[in-house]
């Protein structure tokens, strides 16, 4: 009996996740979209004619539900870790609850979902796409708990790329810059004469990620010129901090 093959996309009800799901689906594998919002997820599932699973991946219950759903799956050719949300409380508010929530959703959920899918990923010689963010490399001061969790996720994903290669699994760390989505509309940036060019839409972002996947890249930026900012962060952190402060003064 042939093993069931399943492509899994978390955070797949809208934005980057849904755009990736459209591009990754293929005739030799089923498609599963996972998200917290039932209504939007159902609409996405109907549009793509695929399976859906309502699950909060920051919770034990959500992880258990996904693990149970994957129990009969023999092969996972692609796993997309994209579940996310905004965390905008300033650090000076010293809000440990938001810090914990950000870590659980943006970092630990990636770890736990990948662990649940791992046997089927290895069986398929599959790929993991970890959608992180340039915020995981460049400190801007905006959405600081989000950025801190993305820093953790980025470090984990880079390490996983190294270790996973030994068992035939490819890991891509995707670092989008500002992407206009429902959770992150970036209205102020989009309204600026020059900075609007720094914002891309989810379709363009997904297309770039899929190109990097096809080339089996270890890491990619969307757009690629954001890589310059990561170099600047490492070489001149003081300069980047001053630029971040000016940006916050102007855009909040």
Catalytic residues: 146
Q: What does DSSP say about strands 179-180 and 200-201: parallel, antiparallel, or unpaired?
A: parallel
What is the C-alpha separation between 9 and 213, in angstroms, rounded? Answer: 15
Residue 146: both structure tokens together? 């989000």
**What separation in angstroms does the CA of 208 have from each of 66, 99, 200, 202?**
28, 30, 11, 10
Residues 6 or more apart whose Cβ sits within 8 Å of residue 103? 148, 149, 152
SS3 138: coil
For helices 109-124 and 60-69, the axis angle rounded to 10 degrees is: 10
Instruction: Give me 74's structure tokens.
Output: 């023999």
In the structure encoding, which two tokens stand for residue 63, read together? Answer: 């992880």
What's 199's DSSP letter?
-
Please tell me the distance from the alpha carbon of residue 74 to that of residue 91, in angstroms, as a whole number: 43
Q: For residues 101 and 140, give the distance between their C-alpha atoms in angstroms, rounded to a whole number.
A: 20
Long-range contacts of 227-234 (CB under 8 A, 24+ apart): 229/134, 229/137, 229/138, 230/134, 230/137, 230/138, 230/175, 232/138, 233/137, 233/138, 233/139
């Amino acid at each position: 009996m042939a093993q069931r093959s399943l492509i899994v996309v978390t955070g797949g009800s809208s934005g980057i996740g849904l755009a990736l799901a459209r591009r990754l689906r293929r005739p030799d594998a089923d498609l599963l979209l996972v998200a917290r919002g039932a209504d939007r997820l159902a609409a996405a599932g109907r549009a793509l004619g695929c399976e859906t699973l309502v699950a909060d991946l920051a919770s034990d219950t959500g992880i258990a539900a996904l693990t149970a759903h994957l129990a009969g799956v023999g092969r996972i050719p692609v796993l997309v870790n994209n579940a996310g949300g905004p965390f905008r409380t300033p650090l000076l508010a010293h809000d440990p609850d938001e810090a914990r929530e950000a870590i659980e959703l943006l970092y630990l959920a990636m770890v736990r979902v990948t662990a649940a899918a791992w046997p089927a990923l290895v069986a398929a010689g599959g790929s993991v796409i970890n959608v992180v963010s340039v915020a995981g490399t460049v400190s801007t001061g905006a959405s600081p708990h989000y950025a801190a969790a993305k820093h953790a996720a980025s470090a984990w994903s880079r390490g996983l790329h190294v270790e996973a290669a030994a068992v035939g699994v490819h890991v891509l760390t995707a670092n989008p810059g500002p992407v206009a989505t429902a959770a992150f509309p970036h209205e102020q940036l989009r309204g600026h004469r020059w900075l609007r060019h720094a914002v891309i839409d989810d379709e363009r972002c997904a297309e770039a990620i899929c190109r990097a996947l096809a080339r089996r890249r270890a890491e990619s930026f969307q757009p690629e010129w954001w890589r310059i900012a990561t170099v600047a962060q490492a070489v001149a952190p003081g300069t980047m901090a001053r630029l971040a402060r000016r940006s916050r003064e102007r855009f909040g």
